[in-house]
Amino acid sequence: MVTPSKRNALAHFQRRSSSYERSWLQPRFLAPAQQAVLELMEHYLLTAPSVVLDVGCGTGRLLRLVHERWPDADVRGIDPTAGMLEVARQLTPSATFETGFVEALPLADAAVDVAMSTFSFHHWSEQGAGLREMTRVLRPGGYCLLADALLPGWLLRLLPRSHFRSSAQVSKLFQQAGLDVLQQQIVVSGRVLITVGRKASAMAGNS
């Protein structure tokens, strides 16, 4: 279901799609956070990933970094905004892009090694359902990396209806979705929280 808030967000990003790559936020905020996500991927992955998914991929910037690091990986992006995907296909020909929402990912079960999302989490209308979907499409032992803006506690208390979450709240949502939280890291001068989770391996699940 496309709620009014989600419809407003879609319209906002549709308008910004052609200029998104040139935004002042890219070098000061988004790029360093995405670089930190990539470094965490490198830390946890013991072998090169076969399939990497970016949910809320925007113009495909993070997928380009993944392709540079693992050129043989099948990199895929999903975003609900047509304008963003149009730019992404032009700038990131190495990736496959599809239109979709995180709450209903157009992928089969256990289809990807790494599922990641940067700066779209606070736009998800059903965050628990979205994380369960990311867990569903992960292969056993696969990794989920989520980065989003981290607001100070006093501001979170002033915005009780916002979808920004504290580190403890994100950790709880990960666990409820079936992900073991491996690490939470605060980057970009305390403004971004990255959470790394792992789906249980088949052996662990059967024990």
Express each pLDDT in 24-44 by its tens digit: 888 888 999 999 999 999 999
Q: Domain of 32: which CATH number?
A: 3.40.50.150
**Number of domain units in the chain:** 1
User: What do you get for the CA distance between the two ends of the chain, in Å?
Assistant: 38
Q: Is the pTM of this model over 0.75?
A: yes
The H or E element containing residue 8 is helix 4-16
The percentage of the chain sitting over the pLDDT mark of 70, rounded to a whole number, equals 94
pLDDT for the residue numbered 4: 63
Distance CA 132, CA 152 (A): 26
CA distance 98 to 39: 26
- What pLDDT, in 10s, does the model give residues 159-193? 877 889 999 999 999 999 999 999 999 999 999 99
- List the domain range (segments joined by +) for residue 128: 4-17+24-206
